Structure 1
Amino acid sequence: MAGTARGIPGTPRVLRAMNDRAALELLVAHGPLTRARLGELTGLSKPTASQLLARLEAAGLVRATGTATGRPGPNARLYEIEPSAARVAALVVDPERGITAAVADITGEVVGEHRIRAPALVEGAPERTVRLVAKAVDGALSVAGLTRKDLHHTVIGTPGALDPRTGALRYAPHLPGWQSRTLREELAEALGTPVVIENDVNLAAVAERHHGAAQDFDDFVLVWADDGVGAAIVLGGNPLRGATGGAGEIGYMPLPGAPLARGGPDATAGPDGGGGFQLLVSSPAVLTLARAHGFTADAAPAALAEALRTPDRGDAVLTELARRLATGLASVVAVVDPELVVLSGEVPRAGGERLRSLVEAELTGLALPRPELRLSAVEGSPILKGALRTALHAARHSVFDTT
């Protein structure tokens, strides 16, 4: 922070900017701080901290927000990040649930949400896709009393991944209208912000690393079992993407007893184009398994809830599901050797600790590495939270640059 800045050759303007960013990051992390406390955390003198806060207040980046009470002497003024300094949009695209959009201010507080239902995604061309995304964002902005001109950055989480060589979305044939190589540019032009299109499971891993079960790990794998199946492989704190963006597309992984996807990752096989592991542990596969054992629920989470309440038949369902999950995990663990595996998505969430323990027991006999196995600890939508975190990081990087 400030002490480091003083040790780096540079102009006074650059050093001031470094101190400004350090102070703003501290206000984000700690919430409202007094001038004295901010000085202690940055190592700045009281006069320098006062000048810094005055400069940031004049720039519209911080504001006074009351006084600190319960301390000896006069009450000290508290300062916090100005929430309106930047706003971001985060979206989750799901063929089963539609498009969910959330708008947050720079502090991370969500100020508006809106959802467009799934039928709108079933058929589409790129220009219609742009209109749907804009409609979802506009709906969230309207709730917040904002317009597109108030946005600074947008992150969209989708199944599949952008091919870094072509810019086209791959591994998501079930999203018509999303395969255009110019889609990101068209979305950026429509929304008036930079747009990042990121794999949804990678975003779930971002949320898990900052808010959930992987906070103390730099190397881990998140396995997502929901309507779709995928993995995020995080090494050194960064996601592994692969040559075509397909690292972690384990839904296509061939396994004994599972039909394979035909025609490659952009052809239709399973419910989202996947084969192999996808057809063993996805929500539709779990529902089929439960019905084969006499359960009549109409969705995988409800079926697993019934299984947990019904020891005899339910144990058979949970044991078989655990065997399937462990077989797929063993392949991933044997190659990646992570410190931690996080189970996320509606299938592990519904199976809970009982399913996790069964998977752990099965995995012990299949794979030599013994990673820790945890359930997701993120409340709400991990994908949406990861998209918000990613958008906020980009917006803060830009807005906090006072050079």
Structure 2
Amino acid sequence: MSHHPGSHPGGPSAGGVPGTPRVLRAMNDRAALDLLLAHGPLSRTRIGALTGLSKPTASQLLARLEAAGLVVAGGTSTGRPGPGARLYALDPRAGYAAGLDVTPQRIRAAVADITGTVVGAHEVRTSPRRAGDVPAQVAGALDGAVKEAGLVRADVHRAVIGTPGAFDPSTGRLRYASHLPGWHSPALLDELAAALPMPLGYDNDVNLVAVAERHAGAARGQEDFVLLWNGEGLGAALVLGGRPHRGFTGGAGEVGFLPVPGAALARGVSRSGGGGFQTLAGAQELSRLARESGVTDAPRGRHSTVAAALLARAAEDDTGPYGRLLDAYATRLATGLAAVTAVVDPGLVVLAGPAIAPGGEPLRRRVASELHELAASRPRLVLGEVTEHPVARGALESALAATRDEVFDTSGRTRPTD
């Protein structure tokens, strides 16, 4: 069981001595598998060209991977005169991983095959006010996704669970998420491990959104960036050197607790579960800002739902009352971001979450303008691109990365001709 997903023992030389034929074969195997993951089906000739391997060596490699159940020979290439070349692809059945997104209202689980294709998903509704049987709820969500995928639980190599707050590595207890009932037992991690006997990882939900954005969104290829999320709560992910920075207790990025100008200095924040930036710019403030800006037809409902509706209207017409709403809200978001950028100095800030994303370009433009006035550095601001279940998507990517390291490591396998 790992509190930080993606950590795994061994590496390319596991199971052999560096430089031995077994290890070199394993390195070539991994290179070919990564190419198939990135490019999709490829011919033997194309794999040879991309890896620098000779045709006989590429043929042996593909035969080895096919015998190991890692690749399948499929159709043929077209578009050239003469017979098409046979194409090879990753066998999606080679491994499966799961990602779970936990909120006070529900637990969503998704299962993906080794290529990253989601093959099953399921949600279990939970009470935001009453603690339930958390291990049973988590297992129920995962089992529902597994069933939809036509699999059994044993097919899943690994699962990563995303929650608000963070599990403190020194105590194993969830911190910074007092609004998540049932998740604060000191025995919870042991109970989850007993309910789900597989490698489990845990991470902060906003960190996992950053993982998703770095893999397939607005932060592709970025080694250092900040992601600001606003939904049920305000949070940030600080990605440094390609990895989310979690801090000593796991609480790096809990910017809702940040003291900021414009909000009363909050004390006892560890007990209250909120702080200055959350008070200043949390989703709960959008209704009040709308009234102060002259909006007379604000909807009612959950704070994040109301915020999303108001921002969507403002994005369609950012003049008059709705323009004033965006101006006021952008100033508040930029106030907290200015403090974050002064410490981290990122080149890129990604804006995401249901209480930010619906504001679209009109909100992004205003936040950027304000931040450039308030911060000495001038980071580029972009809107997040992973909008469909981003926490679950990030949890899947985290689980898949570790699963691929395990499944794609052929150094300990017996050769078909051995």
TM-score, structure 1 normalization: 0.92
C-alpha distance in 1 between matches for 2:90 and 2:188: 34
- The alpha carbon displacement at 1:217 in A equals 2.1
Of 320, 330, 346 in structure 1, the residue corresponding to residue 354 of structure 2 is 346
- The alpha carbon displacement at 1:181 in A equals 3.8
2:393 match: 385
C-alpha distance in 2 between matches for 1:216 and 1:10: 30
Of 315, 320, 326 in structure 2, the residue corresponding to residue 318 of structure 1 is 326
Residues 246-300 of structure 1: per-residue CA shift (max 9 Å, x gap): 11100011123325555343x2x3xxx2221112222222133224433321211
Report the secondary structure of 1:303's partner residue: helix
C-alpha distance in 1 between matches for 2:95 and 2:18: 31
Structure 2: tracts of 5 or more residues without a match? 1-11, 301-305, 412-418
Query: 2:376 aligned with 1:368, yes or no?
Result: yes
In 2 relative to 1, CA 344–79 (structure 1 residues): closer, same or farther, beyond 3 Å? same
2:303 match: none
Contact 2:311 2:356 in 1 (8 A): no
Of 376, 387, 407 in structure 2, the residue corresponding to residue 399 of structure 1 is 407
Matched AA of 2:281: V
- The alpha carbon displacement at 1:151 in A equals 0.6
- The alpha carbon displacement at 1:176 in A equals 2.2
Structure 1: tracts of 5 or more residues without a match? none
Q: Which moved more, 1:303-312 or 1:376-385?
A: 303-312
Contact 1:217 1:339 in 2 (8 A): no
Matched AA of 2:68: A
Report the secondary structure of 1:347's partner residue: coil
C-alpha distance in 1 between matches for 2:376 and 2:108: 40
Q: How many percent of aligned residue pairs carry the same amino acid? A: 59
Matched AA of 2:360: G
1:274 match: 274
C-alpha distance in 1 between matches for 2:42 and 2:190: 40
Query: 2:266 aligned with 1:257, yes or no?
Result: no
TM-score, structure 2 normalization: 0.89
Contact 2:261 2:335 in 1 (8 A): no
1:104 match: 112
Residues 65-112 of structure 1: per-residue CA shift (max 9 Å, x gap): 1111222333211111111111111111111x4111111111111011
Contact 2:162 2:205 in 1 (8 A): yes
Contact 1:111 1:144 in 2 (8 A): yes
- The alpha carbon displacement at 1:9 in A equals 4.9
1:37 match: 46
In 2 relative to 1, CA 59–260 (structure 1 residues): closer, same or farther, beyond 3 Å? farther
1:94 match: 103
Query: 2:203 aligned with 1:198, yes or no?
Result: yes
Contact 1:337 1:369 in 2 (8 A): yes
Residues 227-250 of structure 1: per-residue CA shift (max 9 Å, x gap): 111001111111111111111100
Q: Which moved more, 1:250-259 or 1:336-345?
A: 250-259
C-alpha distance in 2 between matches for 1:88 and 1:395: 7
Matched AA of 1:88: A
- The alpha carbon displacement at 1:185 in A equals 3.6
C-alpha distance in 2 between matches for 1:30 and 1:313: 48
Matched AA of 1:275: G
Matched AA of 2:299: A
In 2 relative to 1, CA 182–82 (structure 1 residues): closer, same or farther, beyond 3 Å? farther
- The alpha carbon displacement at 1:301 in A equals 1.1
Contact 2:308 2:356 in 1 (8 A): no
2:228 match: 223
In 2 relative to 1, CA 387–261 (structure 1 residues): closer, same or farther, beyond 3 Å? farther
Residues 117-162 of structure 1: per-residue CA shift (max 9 Å, x gap): 242x53226xx11000000011111111112111101011110012
What is the root-mean-square deviation of aligned Cα atoms in Å? 1.9
Report the secondary structure of 1:89's partner residue: strand
Residues 53-72 of structure 1: per-residue CA shift (max 9 Å, x gap): 11111111111111112223
Contact 1:35 1:77 in 2 (8 A): yes
C-alpha distance in 1 between matches for 2:257 and 2:25: 51
Alignment of 1:157-168 (within 5 A): 157-168=162-173
